[in-house]
Amino acid sequence: MVNNDILYETALRQFDAVAEILHIEDGIRERMRYPKRSLIVSVPVKMDNGKIKVFKGYRVQHDITLGPSKGGIRYHPNVDLKEVSALAMLMTWKCALMGMPYGGAKGGVECNPEEMSQDELERMTRRYTTEIVQVIGPDKDIPAPDLSTNTQTMAWMMDTYSMQQGNTVPGVVTGKPLLLGGSRGRAEGTGRGVAYMVMEAARVLYKDLRGLRVAIQGVGNVGSVAAKLLNDQGCNIVAVSDVSGGVYNSKGLLIPYLLHHLRESKHVAGMRDTDPITNEELFELDCDVIIPAAIEGQITEKNADKIKAKVIVEGANGPTTPEADKILQDNKVFLVPDILANAGGVTVSYFEWVQDIQYYFWSEEDIQRKLRGVMVDTFNKVYALSNKRGIDMRTAGLMLGIGCVAEAKKMRGLYP
């Protein structure tokens, strides 16, 4: 299980190091270290067996300097205040880096969604939304899907909020079903962005994408979409894994069949023409690109040195510890950091919110063109800064994101 204390300390250490490089003045630095607002709520739910169970829910708004706060809601047994606070901070830097008029937030409920029925999940979502209703809204804080939440979760959240307002408010959450004001391209947004980042990394390092051997940890919404798009581009997806383990084929997995297998049996294990591997083995494979697209804390000082791939593109939030980062840098691994690599999701969320507010919807083509534009532009900015200063891509990305928030804070001044 991932240690949330470490995740939180990591977020602070990363911030402190970058604040030092940027010479951010003490007062502003201090204000940026802590969340603006943290809410802990009890979420009582009548379970299917008639008993009442009280879950713990959270919503942390790290910063709102550039606009309303934005970030996902996760349902996971590991959710706590530290995890949500660390991820909210990452969202602030991510939104600023991508040039969006948002601050960062994150929320979640400590629960095990795999053991809950749809009805229980609906009741929990509606009660959680009600408990945080005062702090969310299209101009305040806009939730979205994250681990184990999806379009249905967002539909329930939007409905609950709207019923309490007395009118339909599509812009209160993003990642909704298309019919309810969702955006084309949102569900694939994160995976598509990850694929674009692999393409960019290949462009600057290898020149050719075709034949690159890619291993992906996690085949959820992010990993499976990236697998499909990269396979279409001529990459060989040699391994994928999920919580139950992974599958490997040195010649490349048959991706259409993998997706079919996943729909049928929910897990990758047992897919035909593959050898079973563990999640640990996936990171040690002889391959060119690794995409950690599961949860945080997967690349650590224990396995970083064993990584043979020359490129890592972080589909998940916080998959690499600072100790591992250092080892990877020493080994000259080119790492596209989470706040850039997985920003395709929140970027299309931003497009969704803009469309909702205007009640005017864009074509799939428009979305993909704009998403690619933003992702590639930002990659180029981060890459240029990393080359200019001789620093890694994570530090460069954080410098741009954190620098932007610090400058805005300075311009706004301190109230009163």
The residues annotated with a catalytic role in the active site are 106
Q: How far is the CB of 395 from ligand GLU (least distance, A)?
A: 20
Q: How far is the CB of 138 from ligand GLU (least distance, A)?
A: 13
Q: With respect to ligand GLU, which residue has the nearer C-beta, 103 or 246?
A: 103
Q: Which of 264, 265, 261, 209 is nearest to 237 (CA)?
A: 209
Residue found under tokens 């307002």: 165
- As a whole number of angstroms, the distance between CA 187 and CA 171 comes to 16
- As a whole number of angstroms, the distance between CA 161 and CA 139 comes to 14
- As a whole number of angstroms, the distance between CA 43 and CA 37 comes to 19
In what helix (H) or strand (E) does residue 350 lie, and over which residues does it extend? helix 344-358
State the DSSP code for 86: H
Q: With respect to ligand GLU, which residue has the nearer C-beta, 209 or 341?
A: 341
- As a whole number of angstroms, the distance between CA 320 and CA 330 comes to 15
In what helix (H) or strand (E) does residue 241 lie, and over which residues does it extend? strand 236-242
- As a whole number of angstroms, the distance between CA 230 and CA 210 comes to 9
> Which residues on adjacent β-strands are paired with residue 53?
45
**CA 408 to the chain's CA centroid:** 24
* Residue in the shown chain whose Cβ atom is closest to ligand GLU: 72
Number of Cβ within a 10 Å radius of residue 414: 9
Residues lying near ligand GLU in the complex (CB under 6 A) are found at 70-72, 144, 146, 174, 317, 342, 345-346, 349
Q: How far is the CB of 104 from ligand GLU (least distance, A)?
A: 9
CB 395 within 8 A of CB 381: no
Residues 6+ apart with CB under 8 A from 33: 12, 15, 16
Q: With respect to ligand GLU, which residue has the nearer C-beta, 246 or 319?
A: 319
Token pair, residue 291, equals 């995409």
Q: How far is the CB of 85 from ligand GLU (least distance, A)?
A: 14
Q: How far is the CB of 146 from ligand GLU (least distance, A)?
A: 4
CB 347 within 8 A of CB 100: yes
Q: With respect to ligand GLU, which residue has the nearer C-beta, 93 or 383?
A: 93
For 374, the 3-state DSSP assignment is: helix
Q: Which amino acid is at 26?
A: D
